[in-house]
Structure 1
Amino acid sequence: MAGLVGYRYRADDYYEVGREKIREYARAVQDFHPAHWSEDAAWELGHEGLVAPTTFVSIAAMLANRRLFDTVMTGYDVFVQTDQVFELHKPILTGDRLISDVELSAVRRVAGKDLLTITNTFTDRSGDVVHVMHTTVVGLTGQEVDAGVGDTIDGVVMHGIGTPLWDSVTSDEGEGPAAEPAPGADPRLSPVSRTRDLRTAIRFDDISAGHELTPRTVQLTRGDLVNYAGVSGDANPIHWHDGVAALAGLPDVIAHGMLTMGLGAGFVTDWLGDPGAILRYGVRLSNYTVVEARSAGTVEFTGRVKSVDPETRSAVVVIVAKSAGRKIFGLATADVRLA
């Protein structure tokens, strides 16, 4: 697999960001900031349309990455997400058309397991890079999960959608020319996120290292997981089927890692007051949120400002997420700008 590092392609079709899709996704990650729901609220912050939540591009990435999982990253039975980084160079708004370049950017061998990193580079119609997303997964073979998991999944997954995290489905996407990366700093990176005028609720002059965010507790039910699966396109049945979760070695159904990341991003942007003021969001997953059939799971978020930069009027926020007393984020930080 290491010999395939650098393998890349461009997704054949663009992903068009829809007004109602933004609202659906915001509801799925329980992010009720008005800029995701009301054009008037978004305009007041200087945006020309509804602002997509921080982790929204994972929908487009899942579609674009399907061929990589189906035809290149073969030989594994299960992929487990471990790390995620979002680099936001321009707020994603209603009507944006995103083209994704996909690359298998790194393969590492750690403790006898393969860690594979996929990089999605999203450009808009102007050719500017608006968002870069790095996803790291662990590839597991049949020796590390129940041998019957594949047959069980085949009997429960919905029709008409590939399930790249679990089995191989032949992709009908054709090859497309991938944009060549520029040496050093990529001149295609949009400067908007670092230069736009901000109207954040929190001002830079009012914070310092150690400043604490107001804690937030979120509840997740099986209904929330099923809704997120439908909205995001993540059909992995460990998030809604007890039998498959058990075969995968889990104590019960668990929440999507990307769902908990979306909740964490909303926790930060709600404090900021402007979803377009986040520059980078990185999460290392260390545990999971169990959601039982008859009771809700909970995730408790706390955060504090780790450092500030007066020159750029920016800050680094550390986010802690716990469920049932366990830390589900091993390390999570958000780089933000403030007015």
Structure 2
Amino acid sequence: MVEAAFDVAGLVGHRYRADDFYEVGREKIREYARAVQDFHPAHWSEDAAGELGYAGLIAPTTFISTAAMLANRRLLETVMTGYDMFVQTDQVFEMYKPVLTGDRLVSDVELSSARRIAGKDLLTITNTFTDQTGDIVQVMHTTVVGITGEDVNADISDTIERVIMSGLDTTSRTTAVSAEADGLLVTDSNSTTAAHLSPISRTRVPHTAIRFEDIAVGDELPTRTVSLTRGDLVNYAGVSGDVNPIHWHDEVAALASLPDVIAHGMLTMGLGAGFVTGWLGDPGAMIRYGVRLSNYTVIEAASAGTVEFTGRIKSVDPETRTAVVVIVAKSAGRKVFGLSTADVRLA
């Protein structure tokens, strides 16, 4: 096993603040909603969003991952050297305040965990997003496996260089850099502006189509089946910024030892989040969403792939009028989600 060119465990706890804010655009919300096939009116119409109490279009649950892609780039490409690629395994979204059109989000990025299991490095990156008021609106935890050159075909880097979008730096970095000297890492906990978790998502009155009194443990959500084509993958890549060629280029997918082009894990998660919020009727009524990926959705060139979503109520809390929903996603008979839950609030 090729070791990383640095002691990754020694970087745990280090963090930096993204150089610039991410402004949430009206049309970007619509583009992202289309990419994850989420047609709830509150993502598309100010009037519909207003009826639910929002001052603008509300972003879909996983929308904030687009801002994280930008904020995390220098950690993955400049600080965490020694890996040839990263494979996503787990994702958790904690929602504290609805993300709306016009919000200006700044991300603090932290390598919050690193552990070695079966010879692989599992790395957790935490993004804490604050808005223009200083409130923390969302916290996102992304766990990836660091893949070294020993685990992939030697030709994959050259192939990626030939097909990747112009303007992206894909140069393999095999030597460590001095992150502190480069101004990338911050170890002083007081170096960023103090912020607090917004209480809004947990105190606002939800406008759900389902009332708490109408649900019980064991109840099942209406099944949803989604169709995905190569065009959907290309569209999601462009909208989200995740342009990894394994999602749209046959040769690269083969060199990565995949059976064919596969759907983005975050795309499947976005579909799953919309499955739940569509049932709820209020996208802001979900306060936590966690997914462990156990398999992938293969999308062949000659035919569309499908993902079937089912869900059931795992538990309820009468005091807080909340419930935990277990979500199952299957494609071609395989479970895509190993474990997925959504914590929701009900009217």
TM-score calculated relative to the size of structure 2: 0.93
Is the 2:14–2:186 contact (alpha carbons within 8 Å) kept by the matching residues of 1? no
Counterpart in 2 of 1:39?
46
> CA RMSD, aligned part only?
2.0
Is the 2:13–2:187 contact (alpha carbons within 8 Å) kept by the matching residues of 1? no
Is the 1:101–1:178 contact (alpha carbons within 8 Å) kept by the matching residues of 2? no
- After superposition, the C-alpha distances for 1:273-316 in whole angstroms (9 at most, x for unaligned) are 00000000000000000000010010000000000000100000
Distance in 2, matches of 1:75 and 1:158, equals: 23
- The 1:101/1:179 distance shift into structure 2, 3 A limit, reads farther
Counterpart in 2 of 1:317?
325
Is the 2:298–2:305 contact (alpha carbons within 8 Å) kept by the matching residues of 1? yes
Q: 1:1-339 residue pairs with structure 2 within 5 A?
A: 1-162=8-169, 167-168=172-173, 175=184, 180=189, 188-339=196-347
Is the 2:134–2:195 contact (alpha carbons within 8 Å) kept by the matching residues of 1? no
- The 1:179/1:93 distance shift into structure 2, 3 A limit, reads farther
SS at match of 2:105: strand
Is the 1:42–1:48 contact (alpha carbons within 8 Å) kept by the matching residues of 2? yes
- After superposition, the C-alpha distances for 1:119-167 in whole angstroms (9 at most, x for unaligned) are 000001111100000000001111111011001000100112345xx84
Distance in 1, matches of 2:169 and 2:57, equals: 29
Is the 2:14–2:185 contact (alpha carbons within 8 Å) kept by the matching residues of 1? no
- After superposition, the C-alpha distances for 1:205-256 in whole angstroms (9 at most, x for unaligned) are 1001111100000000000000000000001000000000000000000000
Percent of matched pairs sharing the same residue: 77
Distance in 2, matches of 1:124 and 1:141, equals: 36
TM-score calculated relative to the size of structure 1: 0.95
- The 1:139/1:176 distance shift into structure 2, 3 A limit, reads closer
Distance in 2, matches of 1:291 and 1:61, equals: 25
SS at match of 1:155: helix
- After superposition, the C-alpha distances for 1:185-217 in whole angstroms (9 at most, x for unaligned) are x97000000000111000001001111100000
In structure 1, stretches of 5+ residues that fail to align are none
Is the 2:208–2:281 contact (alpha carbons within 8 Å) kept by the matching residues of 1? yes
